[in-house]
Structure 1
Amino acid sequence: MNNRKICFVSPNAYPILKNTCYEFAGGAEVQQVLIAQALTENNFQVSFIVGKYGGKKTEKINNITVFKSSYEYKTGKLHYVPALSDIFLALCKANADLYFLRNPKHLLGVVAYYCQMKKRKFVFSSSIDYDSDLKHIRKKESIISRTLFLYGLRRVDRIIVQTDKQKRQFEKNFGLNSVLIKNMCPLPSLMPVKESPPVVLWVGTARENKRPQLLFELARAIPSLKFRMIIAPGRNERFNKIIKEQCRSVHNIEFLGFIPYQKINKEYARASLLVNTSRWEGFPNTFLQAWANEIPVVSLEIDPDEVICKHKLGLHSRTFEQMVKDVKLLIENEDLRREMGIYARKYVEAEHGIKKISRQYIDLFKNI
């Protein structure tokens, strides 16, 4: 039935919902808001549970009810009992038929417990490859976070993944089936106008797994080329400061800092190339935003399901030395760069269009 009540548990989604400029909201939050907007247009009743943002405890934003909690996770340290208790109370207030969670992982157990107790449906959507990597979870997650995640994972009604690789990993490591639904991406209404001479873009968050320092090495290796860095602050203040100081010491990098999702498209529109230096990702929203603006991607390690290579959407370098060569190749070869850019936009339109992906979510939520 189309009037089902769906609640997204997404502590950092408020800036995207409200169109405000808090300095954190990533790809997972963007995807959930895009899904929610599609659902409201199809007569679903949609709500969000977000974290600590002040103001009224309950808000209505574009037909979406927003329940604020005291949950706060900025320092990497979580006061579990009060924060998770408040999330539990918000779940009761939302009183939805189905709950949807993408991150953080430790909330999986809380939402699963509530849904099991109240006999509600629960969907978990994996946001990054290591969600399905048991060794990584055991090594990197705290015992409380790990326990909550594994408890919840066994009790969800559906697992959604972004790639075939994630699907295989959940089956191999946990014996769990999952549903592949790709990320969605709106196409810009205006065709991009590229800056001359070409500019190379890096977009991400100041986290160690994103390895932003490699951009500095890349810029030093190609001193004649202009780079721009768009970077949201991470939870490690010391790392944020180090990255900012190091970036400003490289003469051919323009440091733009944080730019909200709603305003970032103009930077993609004028760039000619996107580089990615991450060690871990899911299916990066930055790739989709770049491709939608006819920008090829040069990626050091990340190529989800090898789409970059299969569809000629850029180059997958695999080593830093090759990355330097690949960037030079595409900057110097305008025809190849433009050809890949055209392929990239067509790929997003065919595989990640709003209508196509939202239909898959609507069918899932109606039939679960």
Structure 2
Amino acid sequence: MRVVLLTLNAYDMLVGDGETVGGAQLQQVLIGRALADRGHDVIFVENDAEHKTETTVDGVRIVTRPSREDGNAILRAVLRLLDLTALLGRIDPDACYVRMPLFELLPTAVYCAVTHTRLVYGFAHDSELGTDPVVFESRLTDNAVYRRAIRTARATADVLVAQNAHQERLARKQYDCPVVRIPNGYEPRDDPGPSPFPDDRPVVLWVSTLRPWKRPELVLELADRIPEALFVIVGPAADEAPELYERVREGARQRDNVRFEGFVPYEEVDAYFAAADLFCNTSTDEGFPNTFLQAWAYGTPVATLTVDPDGIVSSEPVGVHGDGDVDRLAAAIDEALGDTERLGSLETGAREHFRRHHAIGAVADRYERVLGGSDD
């Protein structure tokens, strides 16, 4: 089976270099590598850039197409459409997989419809199915016309893939095409590396791109309420919010129990997850955060303010939940860190939940069937 994955900016993660990371890209990289290991012909389509070359990494082929930065918006859109359609024609895939409401979904949907190529679309974020999708943040995409076009393109998919029960329920209401739920997967490293934390204080880790809806400034508030713990913030600035990055970095500098790491390469970040006592999520909403899986894979429980896909944190011994209230989350974190026996029980529960539900092999099995023609 020849499978195309439209990632556009997963190159750094594929080759193990650079500063571009993202949850949707990580899932595509893991799935693509797993499929390549099974003998499938896997091709990642990337935007061209000065540091990118067409190559093969871990059995995965990387091809590029012009990024089209010059000219007016309409001309760029037309050229991007033509470029991608021509590239797909040269590759001649059996299936195309898109995860995120990229502009490139539009020409891909047209190509797949005309050539009878299987199209699989994966929802990356809960808000894609809501009335105010946070994933549409640019001037080009944050409008009714673009949203309608993306919805129409999604509706042509052979299968829509939801990460969680909430997405699955909404997708079944909004679309007539088949919807399947496939959880995110992860593959922990045999040796994540030495602990990056220098002292014996309990560590609460926060990892993500610093975007407004991720609410990283709340980590500073939690640190003020739990001074005996070390709070570590890892992540790059978002293009749309560089001032947030600077504000949080300055806030961390003013506190002796907050460490601001900024960007940490994907190849090195597992050491942070493995050594932390708790992983903290402060987002307003997400799909199924990869960071939850990275934490659970190493037995690190999750402390979440709001996000709780499928109610796992509320119903299983894998972490603590703030139910949307910062005071409640601070109290839950403080209590967990102060109770060695309970923390140990959460660590065991997190590791066991990951093993049962999110090992990449089982997830790749599902994608292999869906991309190959099954709606199950």
- Post-superposition Cα deviations, 1:115-164, rounded to whole Å, max 9, x if no partner, equal 1122211100111111222x224996323431331121111111011111
1:165-244, aligned counterparts within 5 Å?
A: 165-190=166-191, 196-236=200-240, 237-244=242-249
Query: What percentage of residue pairs aligned between the two structures are identical?
Result: 27
Indicate conservation of the 8 Å contact 1:108/1:148, yes or no.
no
Q: C-alpha separation between the residues in 2 aligned to 1:30 and 1:11?
A: 12
What does residue 285 of structure 1 align with?
Answer: 290
What does residue 249 of structure 1 align with?
Answer: 254
1:118-157, aligned counterparts within 5 Å?
A: 118-133=115-130, 135-137=131-133, 141-157=142-158
- Post-superposition Cα deviations, 1:212-267, rounded to whole Å, max 9, x if no partner, equal 11111111122222110001221123333333333323331111111122111111
What does residue 46 of structure 2 align with?
Answer: 50
What does residue 354 of structure 1 align with?
Answer: 360
Indicate conservation of the 8 Å contact 2:99/2:122, yes or no.
yes
Amino acid aligned to 1:182:
P
- Please state if 1:96 is matched with 2:93: yes
Amino acid aligned to 2:27:
Q
Amino acid aligned to 2:355:
E
Q: C-alpha separation between the residues in 1 aligned to 2:213 and 2:128?
A: 15
Q: TM-score, normalising length from structure 1?
A: 0.91
2:36 is aligned, of 37, 40, 47, to 40
Indicate conservation of the 8 Å contact 1:107/1:149, yes or no.
no
Note the C-alpha offset of 1:80.
3.0
Distance 1:56 1:243, change over 3 A: closer
What are the ranges of 5 or more consecutive residues in structure 2 without an aligned counterpart?
A: 137-141
State the superposition RMSD in angstroms. 2.3
Distance 1:223 1:56, change over 3 A: closer
Amino acid aligned to 2:243:
R
Amino acid aligned to 1:366:
G
Q: C-alpha separation between the residues in 2 aligned to 1:56 and 1:290?
A: 30
What does residue 116 of structure 1 align with?
Answer: 113
Amino acid aligned to 1:153:
R
Which SS does the other structure have where 1:274 is aligned? strand
Note the C-alpha offset of 1:175.
4.6
Q: C-alpha separation between the residues in 2 aligned to 1:288 and 1:139?
A: 21
What does residue 276 of structure 1 align with?
Answer: 281
Question: Which is worse superposed, 248-257 or 265-274?
Answer: 248-257
Amino acid aligned to 1:212:
P
Q: TM-score, normalising length from structure 2?
A: 0.89
Distance 1:274 1:138, change over 3 A: closer
Amino acid aligned to 1:112:
A
Amino acid aligned to 2:291:
T
Amino acid aligned to 2:124:
S
Distance 1:139 1:239, change over 3 A: closer
